[in-house]
Amino acid sequence: MVKKWSLVWLLVLITAFSLVACSGSDETSSDSDSTSTDDSSSDSSGDEVVTLNFVHWINEDNGKWEPVIEKYEAENPGVKIESMPLVDNMNSLDYFKQLDLLASAGEDMDVIMFSNVNDLVKRIDAGLLSPIDSFMEEEGININEVYNNSYGPVDGKYYGLPMKNVSNLVMLNKAHLDEAGLEIPTDWTWADYREYAEKMTTDEHYGSYFHIWHNFQSSVKLLGNAEGSTVILNEDGTSNADNPLLRESLELRYQLEQEDQSSVPYAEILSQKLDYRQQFFTGEASMIPIASFMITEWGSFSPDFEIAWAPWPKNEPDNEVYTVMGGDLIGIAESSEHKQEAYDFMRWLTTEGISEQGIWVPSWKEAELSSILETLASGTTNPEAIHMESLQHTLEVSNPTKTFAPESYITEVLTEFDAEVEMYLLDEQDIDTTMENIENRAQAVIDANQ
């Protein structure tokens, strides 16, 4: 059975719990105990039924949870899943606020969904999540063999299973490729990307577009780092600002925008408040390094050209294709009284369940990728616009880079990084000054947080 919890109802519940907590009276405490909800019941045959509270932020219209949950319940008659979208607006930031309020109020939760590893780790530190290593060991699975895993262990333990997979890739306008006499890239480097951008640039459009996200699109070579950190901090919290790949990333963007004039200039992006979807779907730019959420998330646009897809360009020709992979994770609440049932549901939802859902690309390596992509395409406003062969190839050849949950002060470091990058791209300082300032400002933040 699926129940939709409205935000209003939740706020009432939170208020009620707060009043109980503040009263401090033994009588009130007793009344509270007598009215608490039991999360198990019996079905018509008299057998006990376990109810799992599954909290997330994806509403029914977008998540299509009902048919998926009905299938699981049919295959597992002793378990009921209560779907609890904590917000109506699909905003994960608002969701996490509500999640923390419910956790503080002691609300029953069994299975919890997270949009990224950083928010997962915060709730591990707060004691909200239970490790799942013992369940995986009993089942005999290795998380990195079963899933395209987007995070590493936290203090030696895993607290969630990867659900959907979001991989960095390059999206290209196939009509512009054809006009320039270029093939869809299947194995290429950033030097090739630069050449493609030059050849596709015309009087009508640029060959490339990089957006204002400097920790993403001004760090493109660092994001393909096969061995070490792909961000400005290392796993131990020390600075990674002196990584040569970071400098090379900035130089590449500068060359494309300022020297080759084959990518939209940063000053133009700022002054005209350009949007990456608008630039690509209106044909103003021929290609953009982006992520696989763009398979279906076109906003208000419906392309009238075919979209080709290419792997994240390699730093060196002999390298394998490495790309940052992320996506939703799902974990077990520490307070859950039904952890085995919660784990069983999680395993099904992150494998067969997400495949049945047909909304996202699963992290599960055994998923039938071709049929899933066909389903995803069929849900768009123009399924024929997706060049399926290049998309499937891109996802199949991509290997995940090493990932970890960085220290919380990375946000401060990135703020300092952004300021220096902006001055460089606006031609207000040279690359040597920029890198020296980035390293000094990053280290200052690190020192202040020790």
Would you state the pLDDT for residue 6?
A: 41
- Is 171 a domain residue? yes
409, 449 contact by CB (below 8 A): yes
Find the range with the poorest average confidence among 71-75, 99-103, 122-126.
122-126
Residues 272 and 346 in one domain: no
- Is 112 a domain residue? yes
Is the pLDDT at 8 greater than 50, yes or no? no
Q: What is the mean pLDDT of residues 58-74?
A: 93
Work out the angle at residue 274's Cα, subtended by the Cα atoms of residues 182 and 204, and round it to the nearest 5 degrees. Answer: 40
Residues 184 and 52 in one domain: no
Q: What is the pLDDT of residues 103-116, one digit of tens each?
A: 999 999 999 999 88
Global pTM value: 0.78
Query: How many domains does the structure of the chain reveal?
Result: 2
Residues 99 and 210 in one domain: no
Q: What is the mean pLDDT of residues 241-249?
A: 97
Find the range with the poorest average confidence among 9-23, 134-148, 392-406.
9-23
**pLDDT grade for 448, boundaries at 50, 70 and 90:** very high
Is the pLDDT at 414 greater than 90, yes or no? yes
- Is 431 a domain residue? yes
Residue 83 to residue 65: CA distance in whole angstroms: 8
Is the pLDDT at 45 greater than 60, yes or no? no
Is the pLDDT at 36 greater than 50, yes or no? no
Residues 294 and 339 in one domain: no
User: In this structure, what are the phi and psi dihedrals at residue 404, rounded to the nearest 5 degrees?
Assistant: -160, 165
**pLDDT grade for 48, boundaries at 50, 70 and 90:** confident
- Is 374 a domain residue? no
Is the pLDDT at 438 greater than 80, yes or no? yes
Would you state the pLDDT for residue 408?
A: 76
Is the pLDDT at 271 greater than 90, yes or no? yes
Residues 116 and 200 in one domain: no
Residues 171 and 318 in one domain: yes
HSE-up (13 A, CA, CB side) for residue 171: 27
Is the pLDDT at 47 greater than 80, yes or no? no
Is the pLDDT at 243 greater than 70, yes or no? yes
Beta bridge partners of 80: 51
**pLDDT grade for 404, boundaries at 50, 70 and 90:** confident
**Beta-carbon contacts of residue 292 (< 8 Å; ≥ 6 apart):** 165, 166, 167, 168, 169, 361, 395
Would you state the pLDDT for residue 35?
A: 33
Is the pLDDT at 343 greater than 80, yes or no? yes
Q: What is the pLDDT of residues 352-371, one digit of tens each?
A: 999 988 888 999 999 999 99
Q: What is the mean pLDDT of the chain?
A: 89
User: What SS3 class is residue 400?
Assistant: strand
**What is the domain-level CATH number for residue 32?**
3.40.190.10
**Beta-carbon contacts of residue 24 (< 8 Å; ≥ 6 apart):** none
**pLDDT grade for 315, boundaries at 50, 70 and 90:** very high
Q: What is the mean pLDDT of residues 135-154?
A: 91
- Is 2 a domain residue? no
DSSP codes, 31-49: HHHHTPPPSEEE-TTS-EE
- Is 270 a domain residue? yes
Would you state the pLDDT for residue 418?
A: 96
Label residues 365-400 b or e (16+ Cβ within 10 Å = b): eebebeebbeebbeebeeeebbbeebbbbbbeebeb
At 270, list the tokens. Answer: 């700022």
- Is 382 a domain residue? no
Would you state the pLDDT for residue 327?
A: 87
Residue 262 to residue 286: CA distance in whole angstroms: 10
Residue 106: CB atoms within 10 Å:
12
Residues 142 and 74 in one domain: yes
Residues 191 and 239 in one domain: yes
Residue 119 to residue 431: CA distance in whole angstroms: 34
In which residue are the tokens 């039904």 written?
338
Q: What is the mean pLDDT of residues 313-323?
A: 95
**pLDDT grade for 42, boundaries at 50, 70 and 90:** low
At 292, list the tokens. Answer: 């696989």
Q: What percent of the chain has pLDDT over 90?
A: 74
Is the pLDDT at 345 greater than 70, yes or no? yes
- Which amino acid is present at 171? M
At 299, list the tokens. Answer: 């906003």
Residues 160 and 194 in one domain: no
Query: Where in the sequence is the domain holding 427, given as residue range(s)?
Result: 166-325+387-448
Residues 50 and 185 in one domain: no
- Which amino acid is present at 74? A
Residues 307 and 348 in one domain: no
- Is 381 a domain residue? no
Q: What is the pLDDT of residues 159-217, one digit of tens each?
A: 999 999 999 999 999 999 999 999 999 999 999 999 999 999 999 999 999 999 999 99
Residues 160 and 172 in one domain: no
